[in-house]
């Protein structure tokens, strides 16, 4: 099989063991809560810590999620071209929306990874004057950093957000060359 065919994996097997209070994805235990509950939890943290600290915290938490995802997906990734499709598959399996692509562009002395996300759960149903998706920004940066095996050298940014009227949420992760 060509490699691309291997990355198109159908949904993981989900199984409830109701009496034990367990949900298994293949053999891994997962937990679930409603998206609205997750968004309420995020709101609570923003109101407790202020939006500047919350921005850093969510980015760091998401970054750990992205790095963890890369750790268990690394064997599916042969080149930069696989970064988007494999992330897309991970997100789809987990209900975190889709990754429409991760493009790499060169600009001045920078290498910029541009990730386009659709149905991002952070800003789902929200309206705002500023991008809202620091957790997903962290996931994307952790994903790229895990692949590159080094930290991005420039702060990542969300250049377009559905909450501010964009069609998708778009994130840039940049490295000085
Ligand atoms: Zn967004």
* pLDDT given for residue 153 in this prediction: 87
* pLDDT given for residue 8 in this prediction: 52
CA of 151 to the centre of ligand 1 (A): 22
Average pLDDT over residues 66-94: 95
* pLDDT given for residue 10 in this prediction: 64
State the average pLDDT for the chain. 92
How far apart, in whole angstroms, are the C-alpha atoms of residue 108 and residue 96? 33
Average pLDDT over residues 133-160: 96
pTM of the model: 0.90
CA of 130 to the centre of ligand 1 (A): 9
Q: How far is CA 116 from the centre of its chain?
A: 10
CA of 140 to the centre of ligand 1 (A): 12
Give which of 6, 5, 8 is closest to 92, Cα–Cα. Answer: 8
Average pLDDT over residues 29-51: 95
Are residues 139 and 63 in contact, defined by beta-carbon separation less than 8 angstroms? Answer: yes
Q: What is the DSSP letter of 25?
A: E
CA of 177 to the centre of ligand 1 (A): 28
């Amino acid at each position: 099989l060509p490699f691309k065919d291997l990355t198109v994996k159908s949904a993981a097997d989900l199984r409830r063991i109701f009496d034990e209070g367990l949900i298994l994805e293949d053999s891994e235990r997962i937990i679930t809560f409603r998206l609205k509950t997750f968004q309420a939890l995020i709101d609570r943290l923003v109101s407790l810590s202020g939006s500047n600290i919350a921005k850093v915290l969510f980015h760091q938490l998401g970054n750990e999620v992205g790095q963890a995802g890369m750790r268990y997906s690394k064997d599916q990734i042969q080149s930069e071209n696989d970064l988007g499709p494999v992330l897309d598959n991970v997100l789809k399996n987990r209900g975190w929306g889709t990754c429409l692509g991760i493009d790499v562009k060169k600009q001045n002395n920078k290498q910029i990874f541009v990730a386009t996300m659709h149905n991002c759960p952070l800003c789902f149903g929200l309206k705002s004057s500023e991008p809202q998706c620091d957790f997903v920004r962290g996931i994307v940066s952790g994903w790229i950093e895990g692949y590159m095996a080094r930290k991005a050298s420039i702060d990542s940014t969300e250049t377009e957000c559905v909450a501010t009227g964009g069609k998708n949420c778009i994130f840039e992760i940049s490295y000085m060359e």
